[in-house]
């Protein structure tokens, strides 16, 4: 049971608070009255903790005063002896502290620190190693797949061989068998009506049998518009003297006179070569070119493979009308970085128009990386014709522009309906 007892405390108590773990000064002099709790026996003493740190308790059966400090009860054994002489007896009270093994249990709380042995879970970080999915970084390499467009350039290199198709002469000498990827896809017979090109609508390819080159094709569909276009610039080497080629060694050129550029971007043709004014393949535009004006009535095959033709200005206008003029250039340009300053497009239809540049009337080259120029079959005067122009600085589709006939531009062919 707890009761309160008036107890006289010596003024020398101050010394006790200075030396927490040392001997307790004995009570020898009374000058103050203080109330403190009293218990019958030591087992009735409350727990010594931070809440009652510094408090005093009187234990009746032993006649001793205990004080709480550092979570331990220490005895104050005051005697009526001279100051300091009875202090050693207080040491015996410290032995009682040994009996407080409970405090050692608190040391066991330190063992809780051991629970941070959960650091072993850090070992689970080793699971991070499972992200050996670093191989996925290799997937970034897939980004490099656009380089596959480089393969497109390689295709140009096949001037003397066929990419995916081959032509074999028939045993009886009556014509040729066409094989694409090892499969026979058609026969070509000798004679007046013998075909010189083969279009595969399944693989979207055009085989030009004049030189064995294979081109990608695309069918552009919108509203009432459904037209098959070459998805690459023509790369047929045209050396015929034409109405516009009297002062030059050839009528078609590689940008910068480098074969690599022909393989990637196609050849650049003066207009008379584009319409085949030398009538090597048809008489559609015979004699037309610089100094000679022609009004085209029917489609003009020009330098295109058989069954294909050079688009007229009217056909270009129809395409613009059906596809919509707004940002059409942006929708037709390739997505590749061949266009300078990020001037590329989104290639909505697979047309893949590249900035092939041009050959000027002064026999210099300009515009690669910034401009694409395409001839139409529509002549404007004895010195110019309509063309298509796209630039890296604009999303627009420039068409109907008159350009000098002796400029060297790209050719894109359209399949005959």
Give 174-194 pLDDT, tens digit per residue.
566 677 766 656 556 555 445
Mean pLDDT of 38-49: 88
Pick the more confident residue, 152 or 124.
Answer: 124
At 291, list the tokens. 């100094």
Mean pLDDT of 194-204: 87
Mean pLDDT of 147-152: 40
CA–CA distance, 43 with 49 (Å, rounded to integer): 16
Above pLDDT 70, what percent of the chain?
Answer: 63
Quote the pLDDT of residue 174: 58
Mean pLDDT of 129-133: 44
Give the model's confidence band at 60: pLDDT under 50 very low, under 70 low, under 90 confident, else very high: confident
pLDDT over 50 at 216, yes or no: yes
Q: Which residues pair with 357 in a beta bridge?
A: 372
Mean pLDDT of 386-408: 95
Quote the pLDDT of residue 106: 54
Give 45-54 pLDDT, tens digit per residue.
888 998 888 8
pTM of the model: 0.56
CA–CA distance, 375 with 333 (Å, rounded to integer): 16
Q: What is the chain's mean pLDDT, rounded?
A: 75
DSSP designation for 170: -
């Amino acid at each position: 049971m707890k009761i309160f007892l008036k107890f006289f405390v010596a003024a020398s108590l101050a010394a006790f608070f200075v030396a927490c773990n040392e001997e307790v000064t004995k009570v020898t002099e009374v000058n103050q009255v203080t109330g403190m709790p009293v218990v019958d026996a030591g087992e009735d003493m409350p727990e010594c903790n931070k809440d009652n740190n510094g408090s005093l308790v009187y234990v009746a059966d032993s006649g001793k005063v205990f004080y709480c400090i550092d979570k331990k009860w220490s005895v104050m054994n005051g005697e009526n002896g001279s100051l300091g002489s009875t202090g050693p007896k207080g040491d015996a009270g410290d032995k009682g502290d040994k009996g407080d093994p409970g405090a050692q249990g608190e040391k066991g709380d330190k063992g809780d620190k051991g629970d941070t042995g959960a650091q072993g879970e850090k070992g689970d970080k080793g699971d991070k190693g499972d992200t050996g999915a670093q191989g996925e970084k290799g997937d970034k390499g897939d980004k490099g797949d656009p380089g596959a467009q480089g393969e497109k350039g390689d295709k140009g290199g096949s001037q003397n061989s066929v990419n995916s198709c081959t032509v074999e002469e028939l045993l009886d000498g009556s014509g040729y068998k066409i094989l694409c990827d090892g499969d026979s896809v058609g026969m070509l017979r000798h004679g007046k009506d013998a075909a010189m090109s083969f279009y595969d609508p399944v693989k979207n390819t055009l085989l030009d049998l004049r030189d064995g080159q294979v081109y990608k094709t695309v069918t552009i569909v919108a509203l009432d518009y459904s037209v098959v276009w070459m998805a690459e610039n023509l790369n047929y080497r045209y050396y015929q003297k034409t109405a516009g080629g009297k002062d030059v060694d050839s009528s078609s050129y590689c940008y910068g006179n480098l074969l690599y550029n022909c393989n990637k971007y196609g050849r650049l043709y003066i207009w008379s070569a584009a319409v085949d004014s030398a009538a090597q393949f048809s008489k559609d535009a015979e004699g037309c070119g610089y100094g000679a004006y022609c009004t085209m009535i029917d489609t003009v095959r020009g330098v295109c493979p058989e069954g294909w033709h050079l688009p007229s200005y009217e056909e270009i206008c129809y395409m613009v009308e059906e596809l919509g003029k707004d940002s059409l250039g942006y929708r037709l340009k390739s997505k590749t970085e061949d266009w300078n300053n990020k001037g590329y497009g989104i290639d909505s239809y697979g047309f893949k128009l590249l900035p092939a540049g041009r050959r000027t009337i002064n026999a210099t080259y300009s515009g690669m990386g910034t401009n694409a120029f395409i001839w139409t079959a529509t002549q404007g005067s004895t010195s110019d014709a309509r063309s298509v122009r796209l630039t890296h600085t604009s999303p627009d589709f420039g068409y109907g522009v008159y350009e000098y006939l002796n400029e060297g531009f790209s050719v894109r062919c359209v399949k005959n309906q």
